[in-house]
């Protein structure tokens, strides 16, 4: 399992390098290799998750390593689905190294016996972790697209030389789709949290820092999603909001846990 | 044999001079070129930016004079230079290494007016094809041009010399691609019906823009233009509605005041649900208020902006051309290596033939005096052949080993001097006459061993 995760990490790194080469030269062939590398990485990670359940000692569902690794897997699959329709070489150049870093660190964490907390049974705990990590991943994708949008927008406004980033329209489209799907998954993740807590402690709300921050992050994203799809928010404001919103969400879900 | 390049380009002659010497009938001109006594092989390159003859010759100075006369009489029609001056002021010549380097730079578009432009390679290939068809291109120039095409490919693939657009129209399309995902799905609105709009229509259609519309103060002119291109024509009264539906707006219309004010475009953007609008203002005075660029989803570029981006891109191409120059030096050295190999084989053959000739004539001379029996004669044959082979083996092996190296030129020259291969008074020189038919043997490479000065 660890070897498969590390193979996936290596493939993601190779994909990121190929995307960077494709962007710099620019070379369509290198960009194609980047997509293929990302695809093989996703397959390797999928096989890693498939073998997870056969292990005698599986990592805890609360394991940050597992959470991060799964989030990357969902994000990569999402990107692969989009890349068939939208020219996103610039995004791959950033997504590849990020995926490598998270999966590589996750594979080290999964190797650590202290991280193994025994098997957690039941659909609800699994649904909570998987939906939350998938939501976090897609909202991360929205923020990455938002960041690239802001860079590209600034370049066009400053009238500097031409760039090889994806077009504003493509980046805005990725941002919109990732926000819509990511918020829906995050909401489902949030909704499955209280039943899990109830099954463990007999109460739906414990008032922990994690719950407080997560609810605040969800509230912020609810506002951002409404502004984007109902309030007529412009693409640039939406891009900036996606970056800021993800920074808050990341802190709420991951940062607070690490600070404890 | 020397390689020469003689001609003029945008660097040495203005357009009115270049157009006077431009070649229309290639095959006739090539026929006249190879008919020149001093020219062995020739390729003629004639484009709007250059007229150049690449030739091989055994008499370089005489060939240069002949080529000068060819330009003056055959191409220029023996007429005075437009705008005064002499032909001397506008032509240049390159020899050997410099000529090879120049042709590599031309094919790689490093010597072009617009560095990295893609057309020149096709034009050089065309010139080479015509020379092959007319029979004026021999083995040396064939090899030279094949290497030039390979060099151009390397420069294109290994540098970013051609990656940024440098024409105003291409810059505009490139910018549109940075804003929009698929130009085939986009609508362009052309405001005006003049020559600039017509040229832009052609350029945008070539780039595969989905829908085109023309709007003008005078609907008749718009309709006439639209009919030629099969697009729709509208009057200025419909402008606001058309703006809402368009993604790219290209304006070049007369008038004292800007036709697209900030307020007007802001109102249009509100109706577009945050879809971006790319405005290109080619009008003088400007048709679009500069403040429009401050609107979030409006991207306004005027002629100066486009030219500035084009200039920056061109500057980038020039920087990239330095990497191209390194490739050219490498390739030029490879070509020199090939010429060394070309020279080494006949030199080895020549040396063997000389030695064999000397051996044979000495045996003949002494055999008559000594009255040798057939057995004795055979013994002497074997003995002398073994001596000659043993003596020649080290120098011949060394010559053979040098053929892939540029330094081999010096070794070849030394060998030719040491064995007096170019001395008609040396023993065995009679054999030279039999080797005269071998044109390759006569390749004179003395200049190739000198250091590169450029």
8 A C-beta contact, residue B52 and residue B120? no
Closest-CA distance of chain A to residue B224, Å: 34
Percent of residues, chain A, with pLDDT higher than 70: 89
Query: pLDDT by residue (tens digit) across A99-153?
Result: 999 888 888 776 554 444 445 567 888 888 889 889 999 999 999 999 999 999 9
Residue at B308 is within a domain: no
In a domain, B198, yes or no: yes
Which neighbouring-strand residues pair with B235?
B216
Tell me, yes or no, whether B307 lies in a domain: no
Task: Identify whether residues B128 and B249 lie together within a single domain.
Answer: no
Answer yes or no: do B278 and B153 share one domain: no
Helix (H, G, I), strand (E, B) or coil at B7: strand
Pairwise CA distance, residues B199 & B290, whole Å: 24
> Going by DSSP bridges, is the β-strand pair B50-57/B92-95 parallel, antiparallel, or unpaired?
unpaired
Q: Would you say how long chain B is, in residues? A: 454
> Within this chain, do residues B389 and B415 fall inside the same structural domain, yes or no?
yes
| CB-CB neighbors (< 8 A) of A168 in chain B | 178-180, 276
Banded pLDDT at A231 (limits 50, 70, 90) = confident
Say if residue B286 is in the same domain as residue B141.
no
Which residues on chain B are in Cβ contact (under 8 Å) with A159? Answer: 301, 305, 308-309
Answer yes or no: B137 catalytic. Answer: no
Give A167's contacts in chain B (Cβ within 8 Å). Answer: 177-181
Residues B192 and B79 placed together within one structural domain of the fold: no
A8/B79: higher pLDDT? A8
Q: What pLDDT is attached to residue B282?
A: 87
pLDDT at B435: 56
pLDDT < 50 regions, chain B: 436-454
Domain membership flag for residue B435: yes
- Residues B125, B14: one domain? yes
Residue B323 within a domain: no
- Dihedrals φ, ψ of B116, to 5°? 85, 5
Give the domain-ending residue among B296, B316, B350. Answer: B296
Sheet containing B92-95, strands listed edge to edge, beginning at the edge strand earlier in sequence = B39-46, B50-57, B2-9, B92-95
**Do residue B180 and residue B132 come from a single domain?**
no
> Which of B126, B158, B190 finishes a domain?
B158
- From chain A, which residues contact B within 8 Å (Cβ)? 24-26, 86-87, 152, 155-157, 159-163, 165, 167-170, 173, 232, 234-236
Q: Which of B285, B292, B293 is nearest to B257 (CA)?
A: B285
- pLDDT score at B407: 64
Q: Are residues B7 and B144 in the same domain?
A: yes
Do B125 and B149 fall into the same domain? yes
**Is the Cβ pair B181, A173 closer than 8 Å?**
yes
The reply to whether B332 falls in a domain is no
Residue B368 at interface with chain A, using a CB cutoff of 8 Å: no
Mean of all residue pLDDT scores within chain A: 85
> B165 to chain A: which residues are within 8 Å by CB?
162
Quote the pLDDT of residue B289.
94
Q: Domain check: are B257 and B213 in the same one?
A: yes
Given this model, what pLDDT does residue B250 score?
92
Q: What is the pLDDT of residue B443?
A: 44
Q: Looking at residue B444, what is its pLDDT?
A: 45
CA distance A16 to chain B (A): 20
Compute the average pLDDT of residues A144-165. 87
Q: Which of B296, B331, B353 is the last residue of a domain?
A: B296
ipTM of the complex as predicted: 0.82
The CATH number of residue B146's host domain is: 3.30.460.30
Residue of A nearest to B274 (CA): A234
Q: Are residues B216 and B98 in the same domain?
A: no
pLDDT of res. A60: 64
Question: Could you list the residue range(s) of the whole structural domain that residue B178 is in?
Answer: 168-296
Residue spans of beta strands (DSSP E) within B363-451: none
By C-alpha distance, the chain A residue nearest B306 is: A159
Test B180 with A152 for CB contact under 8 angstroms.
no
Confidence of residue A203 (pLDDT cuts 50, 70, 90): confident
Condensed to tens digits (0 to 9), the pLDDT of residues A16-55 reads 999 888 877 777 788 889 999 999 999 999 998 888 767 6
Total number of domains constituting chain B? 3
In a domain? residue B24? yes
Q: Does B309 touch chain A (CB under 8 A)?
A: yes
CATH number at residue B286: 3.40.50.720
> Does B367 share its domain with B413?
yes
Residue B67 located in a structural domain: yes
Which is nearest to B246 in space by CA: B191, B174, B202?
B191
């Amino acid at each position: 399992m660890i070897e498969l995760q590390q193979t996936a990490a290596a493939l993601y790194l190779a994909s990121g390098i190929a995307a960077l080469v494709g962007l710099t030269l620019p070379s369509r062939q290198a960009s194609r290799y980047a997509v293929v590398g990302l695809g093989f990485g996703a397959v390797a990670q999928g096989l890693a998750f498939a073998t997870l359940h056969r292990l005698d000692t599986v990592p805890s569902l609360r394991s940050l390593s597992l959470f991060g690794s799964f989030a990357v897997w969902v994000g990569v699959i999402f990107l692969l689905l989009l890349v068939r329709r939208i020219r996103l070489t610039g995004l791959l150049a950033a997504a590849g190294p990020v995926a490598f870093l998270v999966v590589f660190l996750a594979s080290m964490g999964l190797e650590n016996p202290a991280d193994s907390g025994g098997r957690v049974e039941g659909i609800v705990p699994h649904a909570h972790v998987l939906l939350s990590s998938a939501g976090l991943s897609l909202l991360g994708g929205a923020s990455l697209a938002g960041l690239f949008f802001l860079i590209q927008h600034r370049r066009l406004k400053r009238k500097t030389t031409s760039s090889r980033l994806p077009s504003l329209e493509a980046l805005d489209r990725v941002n919109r789709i990732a926000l819509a799907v990511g918020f829906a998954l995050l909401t489902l993740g949030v909704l499955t949290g209280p039943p899990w807590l109830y099954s463990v402690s007999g109460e739906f709300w414990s008032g922990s820092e994690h719950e407080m921050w997560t609810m605040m992050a969800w509230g912020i994203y609810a506002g951002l999603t409404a502004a984007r799809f109902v309030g007529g928010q412009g693409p640039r404001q939406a891009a900036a909001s996606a970056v800021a919103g993800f920074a808050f969400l990341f802190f709420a879900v991951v940062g607070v846990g690490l600070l404890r | 044999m020397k390689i020469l390049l003689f001609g003029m380009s945008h660097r040495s002659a203005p357009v009115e001079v270049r157009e006077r010497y431009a070649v229309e009938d290639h095959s006739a001109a090539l026929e006249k070129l190879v008919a020149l006594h001093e020219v062995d092989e020739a390729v003629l390159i004639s484009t709007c930016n250059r007229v150049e003859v690449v030739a091989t010759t055994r008499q370089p100075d005489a060939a240069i004079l002949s080529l000068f006369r060819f330009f003056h009489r055959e191409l220029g029609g023996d007429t005075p230079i437009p705008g005064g001056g002499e032909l001397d002021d506008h032509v240049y010549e390159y020899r050997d290494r410099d000529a090879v380097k120049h042709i590599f730079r031309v094919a790689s578009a490093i010597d072009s007016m617009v560095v990295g432009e893609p057309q020149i390679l096709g034009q050089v290939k065309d010139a080479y094809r015509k020379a092959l068809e007319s029979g004026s291109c021999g083995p040396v120039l064939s090899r030279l041009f094949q290497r030039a095409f390979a060099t151009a490919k390397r420069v294109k693939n290994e540098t970013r010399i051609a990656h940024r657009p440098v024409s105003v129209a291409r810059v505009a399309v490139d910018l549109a691609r940075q804003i929009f995902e698929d130009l085939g799905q986009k609508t362009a609105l052309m405001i005006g019906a003049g020559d600039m709009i017509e040229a832009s229509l052609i350029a945008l259609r070539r780039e595969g823009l989905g829908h085109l519309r023309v709007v003008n103060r005078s609907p008749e002119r718009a309709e006439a233009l639209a009919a030629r291109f099969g697009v729709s024509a509208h009057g200025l009264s419909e402008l606001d509605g058309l703006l809402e539906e368009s993604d790219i707006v290209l304006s070049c219309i007369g008038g004292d005041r800007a036709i697209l004010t900030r307020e007007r475009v802001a109102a249009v953007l509100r109706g577009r649900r945050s879809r971006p609008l790319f405005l290109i203002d080619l009008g003088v005075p400007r048709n679009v208020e500069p403040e429009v660029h401050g609107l979030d989803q409006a991207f306004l570029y005027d002629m100066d902006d486009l030219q500035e981006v084009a200039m920056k891109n061109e500057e980038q191409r020039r920087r990239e051309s330095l990497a191209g120059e390194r490739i050219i030096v490498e390739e030029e050295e490879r070509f020199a290596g090939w010429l060394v190999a070309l020279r080494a084989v006949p030199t080895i053959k020549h040396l063997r033939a000389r030695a064999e000739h000397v051996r044979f004539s000495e045996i003949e001379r002494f055999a008559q005096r000594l009255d040798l029996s057939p057995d004795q004669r055979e013994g002497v044959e074997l003995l002398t052949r073994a001596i000659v082979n043993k003596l020649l083996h080290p120098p011949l092996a060394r010559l053979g080993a040098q053929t892939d190296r540029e330094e081999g030129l010096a070794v070849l020259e030394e060998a030719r001097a040491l064995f007096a291969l170019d001395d008609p008074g040396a023993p065995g020189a009679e054999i030279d006459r039999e080797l005269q038919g071998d044109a390759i043997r006569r390749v004179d490479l003395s200049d190739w061993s000198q250091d590169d000065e450029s």
